[in-house]
Structure 1
Amino acid sequence: MAKVKEIINMTRDEVAAAIEEFPVAILPLGATEQHGHHLPLGVDIFLAEGLSKKICEKTGAILLPSLPFGYSWVWRDIPGTVSLQQHHVEAVIKDIAHSLNRYGVKTLILVNGHDSNNSSMKYATRELQDEVEMDMIYLFYPDIQHVMKQNCDSETWHGMIHACEFETSLMLALKPELVDMSKAVKEYPDQPPLYGKSTISLGDLSKSGVFGDATLASKEKGERLLQTFIDKMVELVKLATRDIKK
């Protein structure tokens, strides 16, 4: 397995050589927000970074430092949460892309671990299409609903994932030392009629911060989920970079 080229640990000469060899970079996007009482606030960072490292190992892409903050408005009153405005997340993505474009990166891959970053990724890449000569793709757990049906035993809360069996299993596979399963719970909060049509937020609904059944999580499920997503993402990255010589 190839060693991951982490730009934060490289010299300017090493980065220049890596770009000359394969001008593709991966940016993990996360968030710092509550994930129940059994998981750390950095779940979305750890998952995005873990997936990104595996993709880099298999493709030779350069790994950028993870973006640790996202749009986390719904948890803004819970200690530890740090939330950026949605358009600020978009602006940061764009600034990073413009920086990379200046010295020859040809493709930027966004690997996201935080659902609320998806809109920022989508609109940032659309605007960048008209601003830089760089290809971009953005990934968030490809075919997630199908993969979850195959590997998870619990239902989602209205299609959402947060501190549930899915995320807890992935964390048990990647960062088990940060998971306290003795505090894992099952919670499916009632959904008010005005949810999604008003300022009622997730933070108003759940007592535990869990949306789903975290008690059913396991390392084995997490490893299966992780490998499935890695395979799917590597395939997509190779497709996006097939015309780039390595």
Structure 2
Amino acid sequence: MTKPKLMMELTRDEIKEALAAFPVVILPMGATEQHGHHLPLGVDIYLAEYFAKEVSKQTGALVSPSMPFGYSWVWRDIPGTISLQQDLVEEVIKDVATSVSRYGTKLLVLINGHDSNNSAMKYAVRELEDELAMPVIYLFYPDLNQVLKDQMDSPTWHGMIHACEFETSLMLHAKEELVDQEKAVKEYPEKPDLYGMSTISLGDLSKSGVFGDATLATKEKGARMAETFANEMSELVRKAYEEFVLKRS
């Protein structure tokens, strides 16, 4: 296993050499938004970057600078939140794809740490299919439900992961120095009947910003899940390269 190939740290010649060896670029997709009182606002960025680096180590793919902002409307009134319109997130993805395609990249991989980015990724990739010859794939915690079942001791809040046992455990593994576990809490807010059918949002529901039981998080759980996700993502990248690049060339 080698060091991750970070575009920000490489020269133009080193990037050209890396693309000649494995013409794949990873764009980590994050967000800047609250994650309770025990986690930093950069959780989604840090986790996307962590997995991008792990996949780079295993495959040799280049890692571009991260997208630090996503669609975070639900937390818009909490200090520190920076939210982009969803269509702007799509446009950024498309511009990054167009940029990297011009100098030999054969596959762009979006590795996401923010659930609300998933819609933007889906529709941007669909549009890019009709606009670029370069394929794009998007990854968000493969086999998440099975991993939650196998590794977590607490249920999710209606299937959502946010500042809970899951994200806190991953952060304890990836960025332990930024976690204040003494401030972790358990909170399962009541879900209004009109939630998901109105402008009632997550920011209206939780007092702590936690949706789940962050008190049960451990570094060991995070390490086990991180290994599973990193290996699965790396395998998916290799499969995508074989299916969408090698077999079509």
Interval of TM-score (by shorter of Structure 1 and Structure 2): over 0.9
CA distance, structure 2, for counterparts of residue 229 and residue 13 of structure 1? 31
Which residue does the alignment assign to 1:76?
A: 76
SS of match in other structure, 1:68: coil
Which residue does the alignment assign to 1:128?
A: 128
Which residue does the alignment assign to 1:161?
A: 161
| Residue pairs, 1:137-148, within 5 angstroms | 137-148=137-148
Which residue does the alignment assign to 1:91?
A: 91
Unaligned runs of 5+ in 1: none
SS of match in other structure, 2:132: coil
Measured against aligned partners, the alpha-carbon deviations of 1:122-152 in whole angstroms (never above 9, x if no partner) come to 0000000111110111000011011111000
CA distance, structure 2, for counterparts of residue 112 and residue 62 of structure 1? 16
CA distance, structure 1, for counterparts of residue 184 and residue 240 of structure 2? 39
Amino acid corresponding to residue 22 of structure 2 in structure 1: F
1:12 Cα shift?
1.2
SS of match in other structure, 2:110: strand
CA distance, structure 1, for counterparts of residue 16 and residue 238 of structure 2? 21
Amino acid corresponding to residue 229 of structure 1 in structure 2: F
Which residue does the alignment assign to 1:238?
A: 238
CA distance, structure 2, for counterparts of residue 116 and residue 162 of structure 1? 11
CA distance, structure 2, for counterparts of residue 227 and residue 166 of structure 1? 14
CA distance, structure 1, for counterparts of residue 219 and residue 112 of structure 2? 21
Amino acid corresponding to residue 154 of structure 1 in structure 2: S
Contact 1:75 1:203 in 2 (8 A): yes
CA distance, structure 1, for counterparts of residue 228 and residue 148 of structure 2? 10
SS of match in other structure, 1:108: strand
Contact 1:27 1:64 in 2 (8 A): yes
Which residue does the alignment assign to 1:28?
A: 28
Amino acid corresponding to residue 160 of structure 2 in structure 1: M
Which residue does the alignment assign to 2:208?
A: 208
Which residue does the alignment assign to 1:116?
A: 116
CA distance, structure 1, for counterparts of residue 55 and residue 168 of structure 2? 21
Amino acid corresponding to residue 163 of structure 2 in structure 1: A
Measured against aligned partners, the alpha-carbon deviations of 1:188-239 in whole angstroms (never above 9, x if no partner) come to 0000111001000000000000000000000000001101111111110110
Unaligned runs of 5+ in 2: none
Identity in percent: 68
Normalising by structure 1, we get a TM-score of 0.98
| Residue pairs, 1:44-55, within 5 angstroms | 44-55=44-55
Contact 1:22 1:244 in 2 (8 A): no
Which residue does the alignment assign to 1:5?
A: 5
CA distance, structure 2, for counterparts of residue 18 and residue 230 of structure 1? 20
Q: How many residues align?
A: 245
CA distance, structure 1, for counterparts of residue 165 and residue 241 of structure 2? 33
SS of match in other structure, 1:241: helix
1:9 Cα shift?
0.9
| Residue pairs, 1:175-190, within 5 angstroms | 175-190=175-190
Determine if the alignment matches structure 1 residue 16 to structure 2 residue 16.
yes
SS of match in other structure, 1:115: coil
1:5 Cα shift?
1.2
Normalising by structure 2, we get a TM-score of 0.97
Cα RMSD after superposing both structures: 1.0
CA distance, structure 2, for counterparts of residue 84 and residue 24 of structure 1? 27
1:244 Cα shift?
4.4
Range with greater deviation from structure 2 (67-76 or 1-10): 1-10
SS of match in other structure, 1:193: coil
SS of match in other structure, 1:128: helix
SS of match in other structure, 2:26: strand
